[in-house]
Chain A
Amino acid sequence: ETGVTQTPRHLVMGMTNKKSLKCEQHLGHNAMYWYKQSAKKPLELMFVYSLEERVENNSVPSRFSPECPNSSHLFLHLHTLQPEDSALYLCASSQEGDRLYEQYFGPGTRLTVT
């Protein structure tokens, strides 16, 4: 595998379900991100992990819970979601250093909450 991978690619879940999204990066990066992309809205940054520590949590509801067990893996645990949470969830990674480097994105998980 190369780049950034995400599983599953598509997920349909009920409002009472619990599920997890997985992201894995094969680029040797040390920062990882979760974004939410809804129709007609800009990409929204949800969480940032730098060196496996969470450095950003943009007022995301507690029904979204991130986990970063190591620099290559990032999870987003979902529970008690609402229909308005239906969106494309994108994971990204970048190399953090004395400069800002571009982020590389995975293909996303298309989430539908019924």
Chain B
Amino acid sequence: AQKVTQAQTEISVVEKEDVTLDCVYETRDTTYYLFWYKQPPSGELVFLIRRNSFDEQNEISGRYSWNFQKSTSSFNFTITASQVVDSAVYFCALSEATGGGNKLTFGTGTQLKVEL
């Protein structure tokens, strides 16, 4: 069975601090995809990144960066110079590619609060 663990329930930082959100996953599949989503107070989940299991290159997009390490089954997300607008719940998810459709297994999310 697939599982995604986000051990950090809530993180509070002061604006301009860097913050890393942890994600650890479990799967028996050799081919899988990992995702990060942001859920602001409005409720809509916003897609941030998709990474397949064969691509371990780290990725940077503006203030966001992701560190994928298969050896530790982790896919961590770092926000550099955090801003108040980054306040949201962030979800890590793992995909299962069987039987049609893309079945995502989500972690429980990390609530990030960025304060002035």
Interface residues on A, range: 20 to 34
Annotate B79-110 by CB proximity to A: 1 below 8 A, 0 otherwise: 00000000000010001010111111111110
| Chain A residues within 8 Å of B, Cβ to Cβ | 31, 33, 40-43, 45, 48-51, 53, 55-56, 88, 90, 92, 94, 96, 99-108, 110
Cβ A45 vs Cβ B103 within 8 A: yes
Interface residues on B, range: 20 to 34
Query: Nearest Cβ in chain A — how far from B99, in angstroms?
Result: 6
- Checking A31, A43, A102, A104 against B101 with a beta-carbon cut-off of 8 angstroms, the contacting residue is A31
Tell me, in angstroms, the Cα distance from A110 to B41 when the chains sit together: 13
Given A102-B47, A105-B37, 16 more A-B residue pairs with CB atoms under 8 Å apart are A31-B100, A31-B101, A33-B101, A41-B108, A42-B4, A42-B108, A42-B109, A55-B101, A56-B99, A90-B43, A100-B95, A100-B102, A102-B35, A103-B102, A103-B104, A108-B44
Please name 19 pairs of A and B residues whose Cβ atoms are closer than 8 Å in the assembled complex, sorted by A.
A31-B100, A42-B105, A42-B109, A45-B104, A48-B103, A49-B101, A50-B100, A55-B101, A56-B100, A96-B102, A99-B52, A100-B33, A100-B95, A105-B44, A105-B46, A106-B44, A107-B42, A107-B44, A108-B43
- Checking B35, B46, B101, B105 against A56 with a beta-carbon cut-off of 8 angstroms, the contacting residue is B101
Tell me, in angstroms, the Cα distance from A102 to B95 when the chains sit together: 9
